[in-house]
Structure 1
């Protein structure tokens, strides 16, 4: 069945108008643009540094860091799906998106959100094997197994949003449909439709439950086993070392689910509509900007690799033999 517009004419390609943040005065558009641009550049720079450091440093060619470069790649793709359009909206007043472009943005946003949740589960499993089954770690976490786990996380995440995208594409819209958001979020598209929104809202809720709570349950299960195993270590130094290997991942998991909680509370609470939009925007930016900060500040190996790269690039150290030691 083709998409029928609300005025009764048949038109398979409505145009979407991104309202942005409705009550934000135009005088604030430029400051908001610079804030988003700053965050976007930090996300690109921070995650690119991690990617280069892990690839260039042989000592980081381990399963833990293989999954980390997947996470950094996801953060770059995730924000590139939405932030450039938001920048265009606030700087140039470019509010319009074609029907295919809007659906593609919605699909990619959902896919990368799912991928991040599943990669965090895989990283938790890696920590579980490393701490609870250290003697079996080289057998369980082979390069082939690592690649298969990462591929499954990406592949499942690419499949999950397809039903929602297909159903959304079949809903009825005006020739110019107003989307009260800064990008094409699933719920915002559903609310912009003239069709019955209840089935789509329920589908979106079910997908959110699968993507949010099931991975969280698996992460918590992994860390319950890790905690039980660490508490059995007799030495305080051994317990501290075991916990330190999980610290960065736990902070990233906490940041990811905190951003989801902010978006959920902003949607469910009796707040002005603008807060619903801002909550979703925070969800789209908070985790990608904090992840590289967490790993560069808390992980000694990543910090050391980046420091060595900076020293090698320093012209003052380029000709100094001691700098190569």
Structure 2
């Protein structure tokens, strides 16, 4: 809802999908609500298994936990508001809350980006230096790396908020998006956004491309090491330990890099299509990641099979 020209914006209105007929509001809110519930349950189950099974207290799973927490917190900071927008027609968000949401969006994005880079390094050490793996990637060292990830993800997010917050917002306050992010907010400023958006774009690319460079470097050496294995079975077995990570990496990095580049080189899409793309790469990884952890790691599969067997035995006794 636009404020009149010459008056400063006191709150924002999250539009979501522009032009969506009110007939479909409940359907969209129901789908998003189911997605949110699935994310909470799937990631919550993995957290519960990690907390209750000491066999999962290994470096690889400690790294996964960073991604699980980041996915859950990102979804929690974005989905409830857009669900309320369509379920209760409550899309209004205060000026300060919008910038806080922007901070959280970019913060958890940075955490996920750094975590994926650490995951790639973990696989690189496991494949290329298997005898030194437990000394290098000990639980203590992994915990230190995790703390570093969460601490060093703050500066870029704070910088984006600090630079965007003082801009004059004196026109429309409608955000054509499902949540507040740097691009969608600074587009509403009554000034030339280039001096503010370009540095943010550079920092975002440093995080994305920096993490991606580490991943490419690590997997280049992994592929080289795998090709040195004489047996086909050995090559497939070694590379299969990395397949789930490659899927997670592709889902996270490729569409994000494309979206950032498109927004800053003048490539435009239909607003609804762009929001669908953003939601897909924002929500698909939190939904798929727990399944990949569970189906592609032997320890988690054994725990799940064991619990299913116990559940079947319990049902048989009751019947």
Partner deviation per Cα, 1:187-217 (whole Å, 9 max, x = no partner): 0000111122111220221122112111111
2:179 match: secondary structure: coil
Cα shift at 1:318: 9.7
Output the CA distance in 1 between the equivalents of 2:46 and 2:75.
16
Q: Greater shift after overlay, 52-61 or 224-233?
A: 52-61
Change (3 A) 1:259 1:51: farther
Output the CA distance in 2 between the equivalents of 1:314 and 1:70.
32
Cα shift at 1:227: 1.0
Cα shift at 1:56: 1.8
Q: Greater shift after overlay, 217-226 or 285-294?
A: 285-294
Decide which of 292, 295, 299 is 2:293's aligned counterpart.
Answer: 295
Q: Greater shift after overlay, 263-272 or 88-97?
A: 263-272
Contact 2:47 2:65 in 1 (8 A): yes
1:184 match: secondary structure: coil
Hey, what does 2:275 align to over in structure 1?
277
After superposition, where does 1:119-130 map in structure 2 within 5 Å?
119-130=115-126
Cα shift at 1:313: 5.1
1:68 is the counterpart of 2:64: yes
Contact 2:14 2:82 in 1 (8 A): no
Output the CA distance in 2 between the equivalents of 1:316 and 1:238.
39
Contact 2:229 2:235 in 1 (8 A): yes
Output the CA distance in 2 between the equivalents of 1:18 and 1:265.
23
Hey, what does 1:24 align to over in structure 2?
20
Decide which of 35, 40, 44 is 1:44's aligned counterpart.
Answer: 40
TM-score normalised to the size of structure 2?
A: 0.91
Hey, what does 1:323 align to over in structure 2?
none
Partner deviation per Cα, 1:143-170 (whole Å, 9 max, x = no partner): 2210111111111112211111011110
Output the CA distance in 2 between the equivalents of 1:308 and 1:314.
10
The RMSD of aligned alpha carbons is 2.3
Contact 2:43 2:290 in 1 (8 A): yes
1:169 is the counterpart of 2:165: yes
Hey, what does 2:155 align to over in structure 1?
159
Contact 1:128 1:225 in 2 (8 A): yes
Q: Greater shift after overlay, 82-91 or 236-245?
A: 236-245
Where does structure 1 lack aligned partners over 5 or more consecutive residues? 321-325
2:173 match: secondary structure: strand
Where does structure 2 lack aligned partners over 5 or more consecutive residues? none
Hey, what does 2:244 align to over in structure 1?
248
1:161 match: secondary structure: helix
TM-score normalised to the size of structure 1?
A: 0.89
After superposition, where does 1:1-325 map in structure 2 within 5 Å?
7-8=5-6, 14-174=10-170, 177-261=173-257, 263-264=259-260, 267=263, 269-312=267-310, 316=314
Cα shift at 1:260: 1.6
Output the CA distance in 1 between the equivalents of 2:25 and 2:220.
46
